[in-house]
Homo-oligomer: A and B are copies of this chain.
Amino acid sequence: MASNPTLVDALRGGIVESHHRGALAIVDADGGVHTALGDTLRPIFPRSAIKVLQALPLVDSGAADRFGLSDEELALACASHGGEPLHAQTAASMLAKAGQDPDVLECGAHWPYEDAALKSLARSGQAPSALHNNCSGKHAGFVCLGCGLAGGADRRGFLRGYVQAGHPVMQEVTAAIQAATGYDLGRTAVGTDGCSIPTFAIPLQHLAHAFARVGTGVGLRDGHARAARRLRQAVARAPFMVAGTGRFDSRVMQLLGERVFCKVGAEGVYCAALPELGVGVAIKMDDGNNARACEVVMAAVILALVKLADAEHKTLQRLASPVLKNWNGIEVGQLRPAAALRIAARA
Contact = CB atoms under 8 A, between A and B. Distances in A.
A328 B199 CA distance: 15
Interface residues of A, number: 54
A15 interface: yes
A19 B39 CA distance: 14
Contact of A287 (B191, B289, B330, B333): B289
A14 B189 contact: yes
A12 interface: yes
A44 B17 contact: yes
Interface stretch (A118-126, A230-238, A251-259): A118-126
Given A328-B108, A332-B191, A13 B201 contact: yes
Contact of A193 (B1, B195, B285, B332): B332
A267 interface: yes
Contact of A1 (B13, B16, B119): B16
Given A19-B286, A286-B19, A13 B199 contact: yes
A107 interface: yes
Contacts of A288: 10, 17-18
A133 to B, nearest CB: 6
Contacts of A285: 18
A45 B12 contact: yes
A74 to B, nearest CB: 23
Number of copies: 2
Interface in A175-212: 189-196, 199, 201
B287 A196 contact: no
Interface in A303-341: 326-330, 332-333
B18 A327 contact: no
B287 A19 contact: yes
A18 B190 CA distance: 15
A196 B327 CA distance: 8
A17 B191 contact: yes
Interface string A1-45: 101001000101111111111000000000000000000000111
A148 interface: no
A108 B326 CA distance: 8
A18 B42 CA distance: 12
